[in-house]
Chains A and B, each alone.
Chain A
């Protein structure tokens, strides 16, 4: 197969988009982990589940700001949802940016309600009615739908890059899955970090989160390998290497962090440094994908 040839101009998606990809991924991933803890975990896991839902919403809050700030005409952000020329809805399922705008809106609703339920369970009684509703089957269904949307928010960003004619981004299919797996591992690290700071989170829950983190990291590593193979076949591997090696080192350290944690002696240090390094790796992965293709 001959190498792909690209003559497209770079879109100039930079720091705002990197911030959105990072926080959006953490939001979707945290929601999914919150749902897993709530529906599959034990009673002792519920404190961590609440932390996950709160983290999900707080990570989501700046995302619209990042996206609007990146627009050339920020006040026209509403054109993503409503067609300014026809007056109807601007919904194009084959355009990941259009689909992602709607998914972000929908996920925002699910994340916000789950956040209210979590803060009510944590002692803010004004939201008790919502918490009561979310405790039963309705809550489980709500969490499952929210997780679906959360997964979409984690992964569509990769598909958005792939659905282009840019080198690296459009040279293969793995970006969506890679960003999703990376968001899951980053979210597990984030919740571990928050659990360490918040205290009162069951030690068994933390062990289970660490196990989940390692599972997610293995999935992420497989998808990173698939990504490198696809860009290698397309002949654009050189663009993601070279000066980007430094970021790759951070990515690799981030992937190793959950495993190093179990081998080192100083628990207090690794409880913070391990997840922090994993989060840096998640950020570095997105940065090198975004920037390498545009230089």
Chain B
């Protein structure tokens, strides 16, 4: 099961953020004036498991459109309700040394709060900056896909609250069909940049929370397929580099200590 977030109909109302905080009893961070459009949460973290991004694409002073889209004569105000992607090949799950991060019966990725010891390796690994460290609990936190609600036959709070149905929850097959139809409709209407992100296996084996975007993934602070790489890619090369260094270091040490031993022997022979 998962989410399909259709950013083309997100109105930036933040009902998802509020519903998430309310259901999951998240206190939220201290309010700050970020001077970043209508954004006042800033990022996903331990207190923000949903975060509505506001991306203003407007002409510069010369009237040249920086990132043209066919919306509103070249101007666009993109909004996206970001969330944990519950990746099929999850970086956080891969590196977690305590097995605190598991895949649930709903195919979501969950941090078991009673097992996590707050090492923060998952934060280092998550390519989406989804996971945050909660100072009070001393553990890592992120969206649970409302695991407790799912266990009780309810849909996640954010999807329930979304007034435009930008956030859809359901079985992946159904969501993917709906996403394909919506993409076709948008492209037919002239929105050539519209694209699906994480719908197929090109990004982390597929995302259980995938998106319909109105521009390139990078615009929404999402790594493109080329940059969506697992931490383990560096395992072999990293250890091989260490091994070769160790061998050279040993040789360097032997040369330093052995040379004098030989000269001492030759001195003794004389």
Contact = CB atoms under 8 A, between A and B. Distances in A.
Interaction A to B:
yes
Interface of A: 2, 4-13, 32-33, 36-37, 40-42, 45, 70-74, 76-77, 79-80, 83-86, 90, 92, 94-98, 101, 151-152, 155-156, 158-166, 169-170, 172-178, 180-181, 184, 204, 207-209, 211-212, 215-216, 218-219, 223
25 contacts: A5-B223, A5-B224, A8-B126, A9-B123, A11-B133, A42-B264, A71-B119, A76-B117, A79-B115, A80-B119, A85-B102, A86-B99, A92-B96, A101-B97, A162-B234, A162-B237, A163-B238, A169-B124, A173-B241, A174-B241, A176-B239, A176-B242, A208-B257, A211-B256, A212-B252
A51 to B, nearest CB: 15
Nearest to A79: B98
B253 interface: yes
Contacts of B249: 32, 151, 180-181, 184, 216, 219
A7 B191 CA distance: 26
Interface stretch (B1-9, B14-22, B225-233): B225-233
Contacts of B260: 42, 204, 207-208
Given A151-B249, A165-B125, A170-B234, 19 more contacts: A6-B223, A8-B125, A32-B249, A37-B257, A40-B253, A40-B258, A40-B261, A74-B117, A76-B115, A85-B115, A95-B94, A97-B95, A101-B97, A156-B242, A159-B238, A161-B124, A162-B237, A162-B238, A208-B256
Contacts of A41: 257, 261
Nearest to B222: A7
A12 B252 contact: no
B128 A33 contact: no
B100 to A, nearest CB: 7
A97 B253 contact: no
A72 B114 contact: no
Nearest to A97: B97
Contact of A164 (B95, B137, B259): B95
Contacts of A152: 242
Contacts of A8: 123-129
A94 B238 contact: no
B185 to A, nearest CB: 29
Given A7-B129, A42-B264, A208-B256, A151 B117 contact: no
B253 A90 contact: no
Contacts of B229: 165
A155 B243 CA distance: 9
Interface of B: 43-45, 91, 94-100, 102, 112, 114-121, 123-135, 137-140, 218, 221-224, 226-227, 229, 231-232, 234-235, 237-242, 244-246, 248-250, 252-261, 264
Given A8-B127, A94-B94, A174-B241, A180 B246 contact: yes
A179 to B, nearest CB: 8
A80 B121 CA distance: 12
Contacts of B221: 7
Contact of A158 (B114, B127, B224, B238): B238
Residue from B91, B98, B128, B231 with most neighbouring chain A CB atoms (10 Å)? B98
B124 A212 contact: no
Contact of A98 (B97, B102, B245, B253): B97
Closest 8 CB pairs of A and B: A72-B118, A72-B138, A177-B245, A155-B242, A76-B117, A215-B252, A212-B256, A173-B237
Contacts of B99: 83-86, 90, 92
Contacts of B256: 208-209, 211-212, 215
Contact of A80 (B91, B98, B223, B246): B98
Contact of A180 (B123, B227, B245): B245
Nearest to B99: A83
A12 B122 CA distance: 11
A127 B228 CA distance: 55
Contact of A40 (B91, B125, B254): B254
